[in-house]
Structures are given as structure tokens and as C-alpha cells.
Structure 1
Amino acid sequence: MLRLLQIEFIKLWNNNASKVLILAYFALILCMALIAAIKFDIGPIQFHVAEQGIFNFPYIWHLNTWIAGGLKLFLAIIIVSMMANEYSNKTLKQNLIDGLSKKEFIASKFLTVLVFSVFSTIFVFVVSLVLGLLYSDYTEISIVLSDLEYLLAYLVKLIGFFSFCLFLGILVKRSAFALGFLILWFAMENLGIRFLVWWLAGKEASVSVMKFLPLESMSNLIKEPVTRFKAVQSMAQQVGEEFTKDYAVHFYELLVVGCWTGIFVYLSYVLLKIRDL
């Protein structure tokens, strides 16, 4: 396992674009801390973002994993490029000649996906914990440790999404086309399948079907947290609106994404096995 990871990280370390994207990704996650520094005055009113409760435990776990999840495209580019470079630089063929089996090759890529996902989750945890301890109004252990399932959802979401990107990288072989296919898939799910099912069977059936599609199921793991924020809910109540959204992380949602992860990894292996290199 360590040998496989070592091979992959040597390749990544020798790729300047990958290094820049990795550093940019974690730098942007760290920039969530800069939100706390936002202050501005509107006449006699002083507004400080950190004092509005967005960094309160346990809300911060939901907010930060949702924000960080939106930045995953940076690592997705690395995963796709990682596979494209294997074909363009012919390192895939050389690895197989040197004795690496196709199963070990896929395992090395998936281990890289796991490492990126785990390290990103730990990084988000540390950043969120520090911000929460500095600015949260509630620092009791029981409150701090509640809602940690959002970190699990974030981890599963990253593993699933990067496994999908790995599959696209093997399927298409070119990073630009693979990313284009990713956008096309997103459009097909949200514009094609969603409206087709809605037209044939109605809105409720459309919502039910979408829960089981790859990108939508990954997105559903962490729902948007903005309407959960107490200040937003208070403003909504003042105009007669009320949010009844379910923000929880459900086991079946984790299971659906886990199944898609297994499918994409298996399809990646099957493609590599039958393809003429």
C-alpha cells in the first residue's frame, strides 16, 4: 500500500500544476478564516461577520463542510489530470511493464483519492474547530461535538466525487474533455433526467429519482446551510415565511454515495482491463 502511494505522490510532486492546485485548494479552505475579519460600518451601525453567529458550534460544522465541498473542483482537476498524464506520458504502460498489475494501478489511484479526501476532512475539521473556539458563543464539549456527522458526509462526498473523476479520466483520457464530460453529466442530471421524470411522473417522482443519481446524491449529503442560520430564519418569519427543510445527514444517503463509489472504481478497473494500452 505504501509503495503504491509513494509511486503516485512522486508523480504528483513532479507535476508543477498539481502542486499549485493542491496548495490553492487548501489555501482557499484556510481563507474561510478570513470571513471572521470582515467588518464594515453603515452609519452608526457596526457590522462584524464573526459576531453574527456563523461560527457558532455546531452550525460551523455544517457551514464549513458545505463551503469546502464547493471547492472540490480543484482536486477534481488533479485527479482527472493525473489519469490524463498517465496516457500522455505513457507512464501507465511503463508501470505495467515494470510489474505493476492493473488492479494495483487502480488501487494506487483510489488510495490517492482516499488520502486527498481524508487529509481535506482533517484540515476542514481543524480550521472549523479553531474558528469555533475563537468565535462561538457555545464552547461546551457536548455542543462542540454535536453535528460531527457533517464531517463524515464531507469525507464520503469527496471520495465519491473523486472516484467519479477517476472513472472519467480513464474513460476519456484527456483532462479537458473529461472535465467537459463532467459538466455535461451535471447538465444531463439536472436538466435532462430531472425534467424528463417531472414531465412523465410529476414533481415528487422527480425528487425521488434524483436522490439516487451520482452527482445529486453527493450534493444531497450536505444540504445548503444558509436557511438554517437563525438570523435568516428570523427574517423569514418576519415576512411570514418558514423553512421546513431537512438538514440532517441520513444513513441511506451515505449508502447511495458509497454504492456509486464502488461502481465507479469497479468500472475504472474494467475499462483499464479491457482497453488496449
Structure 2
Amino acid sequence: MLRLLQIEFIKLWNNKSSKILIISYFVLLCCIALISVIKFPLGEGVHLADIGIFNFPYIWHFNTYVAAIFKLFLAIVIVSMMANEYSNKTLKQNLIDGLSKKEFILSKFLTVVTFSLVSTIFVFGVSMVLGLVYSDYNEVSIIFSELGFLFAFFIKLVGFFSFCLFLGIFVKRSAFALGFLILWLIFEQLFFGFLGWKITGWDVANKIKDFFPLESMSNLIKEPGTRLDAVKALGNQVGAEFSSDYYVHWYEILIVLGWTAIFIYGSYALLKKRDL
């Protein structure tokens, strides 16, 4: 497995565009810290860090939600990685050199898992530093509660990058694959609307929607804004109540793992079927 990973990272690091995107992604993850200096024009000015966004354990929810936005940078790397295999004919050369198609897909999946794991560790480190600096609660039991959001973040990245890998193999061109990703997002919303409007009704459609690939990944880490005490207090003043279920559930994890297995197997099936 280490040999397969080494082959992939040599390819990525020798590609200038991939190198820039990977470095930019991790720099942006570090920039989560810059949120602390954003100031609201209320009175003499209120910093976001002062309203509790970096309090333990809320920080695990907030930072994983924000960090997930930047996953598109690595999505471009994953899609380009496959496009380059076709355009540079390295895929065919790898197979000639003795790499099986199963090993080839495994090497790509290991790359996906490695990116996801390193991202999760990185977010953990950034969050821990910010929490220790800004959090009002520093008890060990509080600090390490709700780490399930980090696990959900890892699963979300693995699922999303596996989808990107499948698209990269299916479409073969990075620009078209990314375009297909956007079209799929639009298709999920249109199909949901059609289900609710014409076929099942909105209650059933909402339940079915949770099984869509991108929607199921999105459900793993729900928006954290309305969970913040300051936002709840403001909502109460204007008569709005927030009662969302923000936490990670085992069945949501299983749905995304199911889609991940489908995407990886689909990638292998496509590669096995094609005449390279």
C-alpha cells in the first residue's frame, strides 16, 4: 500500500498545478483563524471570537463546517489526477509495468483517504489551538466532547472525493467532470422538487432527499450558525425559534459509506470494462 501511495504522490508533486492547489487548500484551512479578527459594527465593535464561535465543544462543529467548504480545492486535484492519467497515458504505462486495474483504483482510493485523514488532523490541530486561545471552557471533558464532528468531516471528505474520482474516470476530462459535479447538484434539487410537487408529497420527498449522494454528505455536518447562543438570543428577541438537530447520526454515516463503496466499485467497474 505504501508503494501505491508513493507512486501517486510522486505524480501529484511533479504536477505544478496540483502542488499549488494542495498547498493553497491547507493554507486556507489555516485561515480559519482569521475569522477571529472579523468585527461586527455593534457599539464599539464585536469580534466573532467574542461571541463564542471558538468555544469548546462548539468549535468542532463550526470549524469542520467551514473547512468542508474548501474541499473543492482538493476535488479539482482528484479530478485532474484522473484526467492526467488519460492525457499523459500514465494509466496505460502503469498497467504495462505490471500494476493491475484493482491496484490502480486502490492507489487512487488510498490517496483519497490520505487527503481526508490529513485534512481532518489539520483541522483538529487548528481547532485545538484556536479553542485553547479563545474558548471560555477548558475542562478536558468539554474539550474532547463532540469529536464526532471530526469523524463526520473525515467521512464526508472520503465520500465526496470518491465521487470526484468516479467522475474523473467516467468523464476523463477535468473541466467536464467538474461541470458534471455542478449539474448533479442541480439535478438533485430539481428531482427533489419534482418528487415533492408531483409524486410523493413534501414529507416523503424530504426523507428520500436524505439518500441523495451530495445531500447525504451535506447532512453529516449541518449548519452551525443557529446553534450559537448569541444567534438564539437574537432569534428569541424577534420571535424566531431554532430547534434543529445538529448532531451526527450513525445512519447518516452509513448512507455516505454506502455511496463511497458504490463510487469506488463503479470506478473499478468502468476501468475494468474499458479498453485502454
Same fold (TM over 0.5): yes
Structure 1 counterpart of 2:36:
36
Deviations 1:7-39 (A, max 9, x none): 000000100000110011111110010111234
Deviations 1:231-251 (A, max 9, x none): 111011111111111001000
Change (3 A) 1:260 1:41: closer
SS at match of 1:126: helix
Q: Distance in 1 between matches of 2:65 and 2:103?
A: 33
Matched ranges for 1:129-168 at <5 A = 129-168=128-167
Which residue type is aligned with residue 9 of structure 2? F
CA displacement 1:35-57 (0-9 Å, x = unmatched)? 11234765x52322221111000
Task: Tell me by how many angstroms 1:208 deviates.
Answer: 0.3
Tell me if 1:10 matches 2:10.
yes
- Partner-residue secondary structure (3-state), 1:62: helix
With over 3 angstroms needed to count, the CA separation of the structure-2 counterparts of 1:13 and 1:247, relative to structure 1, is same
Distance, in Å, in 2 between the alignment partners of 1:255 and 1:41 is: 43
Give the Cα separation in 1 of the matches to 2:4 and 2:184.
30
Matched AA of 1:84:
A
Pair 67,40 (structure 1): closer, same or farther in 2 beyond 3 Å: closer
Query: How many angstroms does 1:210 deviate by?
Result: 0.6
Are 1:253 and 2:252 an aligned pair? yes
Unaligned runs of 5+ in 2: none
Counterparts of residues 194-233 of structure 1 (less than 5 Å): 194-199=192-197, 200-233=199-232
SS of residue matched to 2:5: helix
In the superposition, the TM-score normalised over structure 2's length comes to: 0.98
Task: Specify the code of the residue in structure 1 equivalent to 2:26.
Answer: F
**2:195 is matched by which residue type in structure 1?**
V
Partner of 1:101: 100
Gap runs ≥5 in structure 1: none
Computed over aligned residues only, the root mean square deviation of the Cα atoms, in angstroms, reads: 1.0
Q: Cα distance, 1:202 vs. partner?
A: 1.1
Aligned to 1:22: 22
Alignment of 1:27-176 (within 5 A): 27-39=27-39, 45-176=44-175
Question: Partners in 2 of 1:39 and 1:221 — Cα distance?
Answer: 29
In 2, the alpha carbon distance for the partners of 1:10 and 1:152 equals 28
1:136-163 residue CA offsets vs partner (Å, 9 max, x unmatched): 0001011101110000000000000000
What's the counterpart of residue 180 of structure 2? 181
Structure 2 residue matching 1:50: 3-state secondary structure: helix
Which region of structure 1 is more displaced relative to structure 2, 84-93 or 46-55?
A: 46-55
Identity of aligned residues (%): 67
AA in 2 matched with 1:95: N
Q: Could you say what secondary structure the match of 1:45 adopts?
A: coil
Aligned partners of 1:211, 1:156: CA distance in 2, in Å? 16
Between the aligned partners of 1:86 and 1:35, the Cα distance in structure 2 is: 38
SS in 1 for 2:46: strand
Name the amino acid aligned to 1:194: F
**Shift in alpha-carbon separation, 1:183–1:40, aligned structure 2, 3 A:** closer
SS of structure 2 residue aligned to 1:223: coil
Matched pairs, number: 275
Q: Distance in 2 between matches of 1:103 and 1:41?
A: 57
